[in-house]
């Protein structure tokens, strides 16, 4: 099994599948997660082949665009990896990571049972933070027809995946319902260090946002 060739084929496949997507879950999101995951894996004892495949395939069919179905992503990933002749153990591991990777609400545990899963989850969450995370939050909100901000609509702390999936809060609420919570959910020391800076940037952005909202300079 030529692992390098499989990674290249998978990256080409995902690029063709997700290029031009406008909600912030496009090929370039996957690319950044892939590169972040490889960077973090450099500091951990992990199976890099599993890390790369899971990072590349983690958004092959995001539940947010498939009526809340979080099984379709792992199914499509398995079909692709089986087609390439990847061994069953690796396929099972990658699909488990894809199934468990998503944030599912403030009150919902989303732990990973392998270091490879923890690395890819951290990389995905880092891309929801900082300057890029801010841009993605508004891109996604716009794609779903959500308000940028509504001061009469308060953030919620969702206690179940169903509540989180059915939330229709504003893009600003999303910061308090997810993005500002991610720093404390990082699995690895490397990701925690990166998250600190991105978290601070988001806090500063929100401070400026609310000042401008009230007409203050």
pLDDT in tens, 59-108: 997 655 445 457 888 999 999 999 999 999 999 999 999 998 877 655 55
Q: What is the DSSP string of the chain?
A: --HHHHHHHHHHHHHHHHTT-SSS-SHHHHHHHHHHHHHHHTTS---HHHHHHHHHHTTTT-GGGTTT-SSHHHHHHHHHHHHTT--HHHHHHHHHHHHH-S---TTS----SSHHHHHHHHHHHHTTSHHHHHHHHHHHHHHTT--S--TTS-----SSHHHHHT----HHHHHHHTGGGGGGG--SHHHHHHHHHHHHHHHHHHHHHHHHHTT--
As a whole number of angstroms, the distance between CA 93 and CA 113 comes to 10
Tell me which residue range forms the domain holding 54: 3-213
Task: Report pTM.
Answer: 0.90
- Can you tell me the mean pLDDT for 45-59? 96
pLDDT score at 42:
96
The CATH number for 186's domain is 1.10.3210.50
Q: Which of 16-30, 40-54, 112-126 has the lowest mean pLDDT?
A: 16-30
pLDDT tens digit sequence for 118-169: 999 999 999 999 999 999 999 999 988 999 999 999 988 766 666 665 677 8
What pLDDT score was predicted for residue 129?
Answer: 98
Q: How many domains, the chain?
A: 1
């Amino acid at each position: 099994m030529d692992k390098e060739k499989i990674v290249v084929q998978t990256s080409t496949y995902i690029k063709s599948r997700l290029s031009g997507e406008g909600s912030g879950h496009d090929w370039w999101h996957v690319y950044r997660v892939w590169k972040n995951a490889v960077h973090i894996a450099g500091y951990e004892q992990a199976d890099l082949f599993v890390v790369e495949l899971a990072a590349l395939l983690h958004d092959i069919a995001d539940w947010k665009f498939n009526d809340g179905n979080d099984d379709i992503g792992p199914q499509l990933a398995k079909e692709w990896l089986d087609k390439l002749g990847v061994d069953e153990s690796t396929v099972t591991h990658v699909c488990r990571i894809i199934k468990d990777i998503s944030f599912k609400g403030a009150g919902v545990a989303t732990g990973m049972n392998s270091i490879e899963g923890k690395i890819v989850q951290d990389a995905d969450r880092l891309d929801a933070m900082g300057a890029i995370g801010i841009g993605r939050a508004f891109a996604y909100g716009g794609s779903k027809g959500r308000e940028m901000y509504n001061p009469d609509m308060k953030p919620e702390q969702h206690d179940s995946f169903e509540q989180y999936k059915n939330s229709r809060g504003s893009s600003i609420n999303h910061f308090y319902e997810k993005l500002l919570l991610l720093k404390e959910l990082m699995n690895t020391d490397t990701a925690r260090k990166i998250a600190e800076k991105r978290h601070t940037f988001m806090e500063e952005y929100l401070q400026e946002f609310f000042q401008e909202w009230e007409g203050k300079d």
